[in-house]
Amino acid sequence: MTARAAWGLDEDMPHLQRALDDIGVAWEEVAWDDEGVEWSKYSLVVLRSAWDYHMRLDEFLDWVDRVAGCTMLANSRPIVRWNVDKHYLLEAAGIGLPIVPTMFIEPGESDPVAVVRDVLTRGDVVIKPAISAGSNDTERHGPLTSATGHLSALLEAGRSVMVQPYLSDVETQDETGLVYLAGEFSHAFAKGPLLATPKDVAGDLFARERIEARTPSADERAIGDAAVAWLTEKFGTPLYARIDLLPAVDGPVIIELELTEPSLFLHTHPSAPSNAARAVAELSRR
């Protein structure tokens, strides 16, 4: 399942479709915002490239509720509603998972500039909305004036804002994404440093990134396994989960738990498409 605005942009889709064909699973590619789709006719609706959801959040969540009420949605309604707002990072930190140090600033709070000023004493700062996708409105700042300008614009628009230190080790070590399918580790990939250079944005939906295959370290796997075990205990086994990690001085830290519409970069490992197809097939038979 994609979005009309993202049609043809999901590079995972052809790999998944061929793998589903190989094991005899019928599929149809449709857009979540196509009002002509009869969702109840499907035994399973798999959320994939709904990359405009954050621009139309209320409409998207209404759609999630409607579809979950008439068929099986993956990931599930509770997972999606929880995952679209990155305040979940505070919950992850609360159970002991390592996260990028994150401060949330809400519209109307007093003296939000003080938070930014404090982070900037230790290096550049990353400012982004708590609800977003594809790195939209995510910016790295050094000067206080530009940082507070971006912060103020987001707050004035009524958006919750995240303030994080820029972890510069990503420029030499890359970001690591761990992909889990039906609760089991499938593959990993490296993502180039998105904020080290100006972003290349595709269709106003997502920033293009350098993606390569990667073998995760033992520390990275331990964090990913712990995160997925927690998520499974909390919600039941997700069809897919992507755990994004940044290198830090004291070891890897979680930057995002991607459970709504993440690219899975199936091309980075030869078994990844078949892993995904089997997970979909098994869930559709329940």
**pTM to 2 decimal places:** 0.93
pLDDT of residue 201: 45
pLDDT of residue 133: 84
Query: Reduced to 3 states, what is the DSSP secondary structure of residue 180?
Result: strand
pLDDT of residue 73: 98
Neighbouring residues of 75: CB distance < 8 A, sequence distance ≥ 6: 47, 83, 238, 239, 240, 259, 260
Please give the CATH architecture assigned to the domain spanning 103-165: 2-Layer Sandwich (3.30)
Q: Looking at domain 169-265, what is its CATH homologous superfamily?
A: ATP-grasp fold, B domain (3.30.470.20)
pLDDT of residue 143: 85
In the chain, what is the straight-line distance between the N-terminal and C-terminal CA atoms, in Å?
Answer: 19
Summarize pLDDT for 205-220 with one digit per residue, the tens: 656 789 999 999 999 9
With both helix axes pointing from N to C terminus, report the angle between 113-120 and 144-156 in degrees, rounded to the nearest 10: 150
**Residue 6: how many CB atoms within 10 A of its CB?**
22
Does the fold of domain 169-265 match that of domain 103-165? no
286 residues of the chain, pLDDT tens digit each: 999 999 999 999 999 999 999 999 999 999 999 999 999 999 999 999 999 999 999 999 999 999 999 999 999 999 999 999 999 999 999 999 999 999 999 998 877 788 888 888 888 999 999 999 877 889 999 988 889 999 999 999 999 999 999 999 999 999 999 999 999 999 999 999 877 555 454 456 656 789 999 999 999 999 999 999 999 999 999 999 999 999 999 999 999 999 999 999 999 999 999 999 999 999 998 8
d(CA 11, CA 71): 26
pLDDT of residue 199: 47
Q: Count H helices and E strands in the chain, helices first.
A: 9, 13
Summarize pLDDT for 251-276 with one digit per residue, the tens: 999 999 999 999 999 999 999 999 99
pLDDT of residue 205: 64
Pairing between strand 72-74 and 103-105? Answer: unpaired
**Can you give the residue ranges of every domain in the chain?**
103-165, 169-265
**Residue 94: how many CB atoms within 10 A of its CB?**
9
